[in-house]
Chains A and B, each alone.
Chain A
Amino acid sequence: MKKTIALLLAAMMLIALVGCTKTPNAPDAAGTRSFTDSVGRTVEVPNEITKVAISGPLAQIVVFALCPDRLVGIAQKWDKTAERFLATEYYQLPELGQLYGGKGEMNLETLLSSGAQVVIDVGEPKGSIREDLDALSEQTGIPFVHITATIGTMGEAYQKLGELLNMPEEAEALATYCDAQYARITEIAERVDKANLLYITGDKGLNVIARDSYHAEIIDLLGNNLAVVDSPSSKGTGNEVDMESLLLWDPDVILFAPDSVYASVGSDPLWSELKAIRNGTYYEVPMGPYNWMGFPPSVQRILGMLWMAKLLYPDAADYDLYAEAAAYFRLFYHCELSEADYDALVRNSVGKQ
């Protein structure tokens, strides 16, 4: 009797095993390879990855440039300024939600049903990144990878992505572009006399991005950021200051964030006390499809660097900004930037001509 039961059980297990291996709609599941991500985690990924999901808006901009057709969805709806630039099928990619650490609005079952073969996280690694991504990989059975990227290491990030997605040539093109532009701008920054400037945000224009803060990377690189405060805030809205500090700093150039007070300061008597406003050397950061200076601090900051260098040091920056912007849009947004669109984008950003 016992033997019969044992035999029956063995038979059932065999059937179970056979059932397991004969999973119908996963022909490429057998071909996997190991991939080591930027924080040293080794995960098994399919040989050919054709369906990619991302974890947040920063990754969205970076990965979209490389493989827009492989994205099964986006983390966050594109900014509405992107509608006129992106192809409709890209603009309308379904929203999967983003992850914040281990939790988030990303619905794990939506992710599973999207068929994503890998989820890519891009940015600066947080302390808990390994544990968080391991937990998510284990729970969903989909490998989560982290690719570290800062503005100076975009090239490496693209090479890593190229290795992951098995598209070395396309990735190398983007990597070369990022490295070349970064080198070009840092070279300009080294040989010019840096302009005294402030980057002002906020709906009252009373927030500055302080020197040495997280979002000031490009501003500090290309200008003499006068906003030196005791505790630089890492927030996108920067440090709150009062008008007196602005008058004290009295910069030669002021850059306003897109949703700040650029439009109204010209006619404001108080603001006109500032040298930059009186002289008309104040500008608005171009906005489209994202703020060129960051927010999210992704690869589009290269555009911001090109713009800022050209604006502040036209003699040193011997390139045509329209040509550079058009090249960027072609590479990273897969669209043609017409001259009319470009003019609209930089209407308030290149001075009154």
Chain B
Amino acid sequence: MTADRGRNRRTAALLISGGVLLALFLVSLTLGRYPVPLWDVVRILWHRFWALFGLSTPVVWTDAMEIAVISVRLPRVVMACLVGCSLSAAGATFQGVFRNPMASPDILGASSGAAFGAALAILLGCSARFVTIFAFLGAILTVALVFLISARAPGLRVVNLILAGIMVGSLFSAGTSYLKLVADPANQLPAITYWLLGSLSGTRLASILPAAIPMALGLVPLLLLRWRLNLLSLGDSEARALGVNTDLLRAVLILCATLVTAASISVSGVIGWVGLVIPHLSRKLVGSDNRALLPCSMLTGAAFLLLVDDVSRNLLATEIPIGILTAVIGAPFFIYLLLRKEKTL
């Protein structure tokens, strides 16, 4: 009876967050600094939808309206969903793997590595595409290094990983600080600083697919393995007693979570808090069973980042870096979750 109620509740929560995300997606497309009437947004999308099949509908809007909706707004809205979804999924996974509620996607130094890579690329005068590639490689290499170090160290595997993550992360942070010191203040330094604050501005249609592929490569295995993530949270000896190869499972989960984290950070810059707060929020909604927690985190994460990005591009005439907003919104929200009396599920 109670199990049934729990399941119904979880299904309802997933459906609701999915519905909220869909609604937000549509609403976001109508929000922007360039005035496009709601009805025209619908007609432009309708036009583009049929154009996919080679069909055409009459054009009654201006070119600028279509540019605003299709090449400025749509890529950003999609990217915000992808990044929010990925960071939250990675956060939930890391929290499960390390059995630590304070784990976030950058626990193994991924953001520090990505930041270093991006700063290096900016210093070398690379274009936006190479900045993304450098950031991605920086994140992956950092986590690989952390993994190698922890594998060689004696003692508890999980603790080693976290410690190595902190060490290597701070090493790369120092490197980034040095790069900022030697960067040219006229344009390189602000570019690095701006990248570190995190922003989805300038997202183009062409940049979505290259980001979505590694995200999908990581997210699909995470979704398939979410039941086994539950076993890991029992503790290593219990999980082994149930016949799980914990080291292998942990390695695969960390690899996938790192892949999605790296793909997100490399396109968005450093966006904190989402990966930490959203899994906690989702736990309040559906409980700590990862079978429901992971999909719920993905949906709410996407919706949350989409909402924050809407604020970031609409509040002022100029862009507000999204990393600042997630911290401003995320920290008080986290405090609220902490203070709220725990409801038993």
Chain A interface (Cβ within 8 Å of chain B)?
9, 12-13, 15-16, 19-20, 23-26, 56, 58, 94-98, 100-110, 112-113, 123, 126-128, 131-132, 135-136, 138-141, 214, 233-237, 296-297
B67 adjacent to A16 (CB under 8 Å): no
Q: List 22 A-B contacts (CB under 8 A).
A: A12-B57, A19-B59, A24-B62, A56-B187, A97-B318, A97-B319, A98-B190, A100-B187, A101-B127, A103-B195, A103-B202, A106-B318, A107-B313, A109-B33, A127-B124, A127-B125, A128-B128, A135-B204, A140-B67, A140-B71, A214-B186, A296-B186
Which residues of chain B have C-beta atoms less than 8 A from A128's C-beta? Answer: 125-128, 130
Measured CB to CB, the closest approach of chain A to B127, in angstroms, equals 3
B59 adjacent to A105 (CB under 8 Å): no
A100 to B320, CA, bound (A): 14
Given A128-B125, A236-B186; A16-B57 close (CB under 8 Å)? yes
Stretch from B156-164, B177-185, B253-261 contacting the other chain: B177-185
Given A126-B125, A127-B124, A214-B184; A110-B317 close (CB under 8 Å)? yes
B194 adjacent to A109 (CB under 8 Å): no
Which of A19, A109, A233, A235 has a CB less than 8 Å from the CB of B32? A109
Q: When A and B form their complex, which 7 residue pairs have the shortest distance between CB atoms, in order from nearest?
A: A102-B128, A127-B125, A128-B127, A97-B318, A100-B191, A109-B33, A109-B34
B185 adjacent to A113 (CB under 8 Å): no
A237 to B182, CA, bound (A): 11
Would you give the 0/1 interface string for B128-142, flagging 1 where the beta carbon is closer than 8 Å to chain A?
111100000000000
A132 adjacent to B33 (CB under 8 Å): no
How many A-B residue pairs have C-beta atoms within 8 angstroms? Tell me: 151
A128 to B68, CA, bound (A): 25
Measured CB to CB, the closest approach of chain B to A237, in angstroms, equals 7
Known contacts A16-B56, A102-B131, A105-B201, then 11 further A-B pairs from the complex at CB < 8 Å, ordered by chain A residue: A9-B55, A19-B58, A25-B62, A94-B317, A105-B319, A107-B319, A110-B34, A139-B67, A214-B184, A235-B182, A236-B186
A113 to B32, CA, bound (A): 10
A107 to B311, CA, bound (A): 12
Which residues of chain A have C-beta atoms less than 8 A from B129's C-beta? Answer: 131
A9 adjacent to B56 (CB under 8 Å): yes
A132 adjacent to B128 (CB under 8 Å): yes
Question: Which residue of B is nearest A130, CB measured?
Answer: B127
A234 adjacent to B317 (CB under 8 Å): no
Any chain A CB within 8 A of the CB of B64?
A: yes
Which residues of chain B have C-beta atoms less than 8 A from A297's C-beta? Answer: 186
Any chain A CB within 8 A of the CB of B199?
A: yes
Given A108-B202, A113-B35, A123-B187; A16-B59 close (CB under 8 Å)? yes
A131 to B133, CA, bound (A): 15
A108 adjacent to B201 (CB under 8 Å): yes
Which of B60, B67, B194 has a CB less than 8 Å from the CB of A19? B60
Which residues of chain A have C-beta atoms less than 8 A from B34's C-beta? Answer: 109-110, 112-113
B184 adjacent to A107 (CB under 8 Å): no
A100 adjacent to B186 (CB under 8 Å): no
Which residues of chain B have C-beta atoms less than 8 A from A107's C-beta? Answer: 33, 201, 313, 316-319
Which residues of chain A have C-beta atoms less than 8 A from B316's C-beta? Answer: 107
Any chain A CB within 8 A of the CB of B41?
A: no
Which residues of chain A have C-beta atoms less than 8 A from B125's C-beta? Answer: 126-128
A101 adjacent to B62 (CB under 8 Å): no
Most buried by B among A12, A23, A103, A113: A103
Which residues of chain B have C-beta atoms less than 8 A from A141's C-beta? Answer: 63-64, 67, 71
Measured CB to CB, the closest approach of chain B to A280, in angstroms, equals 31
Q: Which of B43-71 contact A (CB under 8 A)?
A: 55-60, 62-64, 67-68, 71
Given A109-B34, A135-B204, A141-B63; A101-B318 close (CB under 8 Å)? no
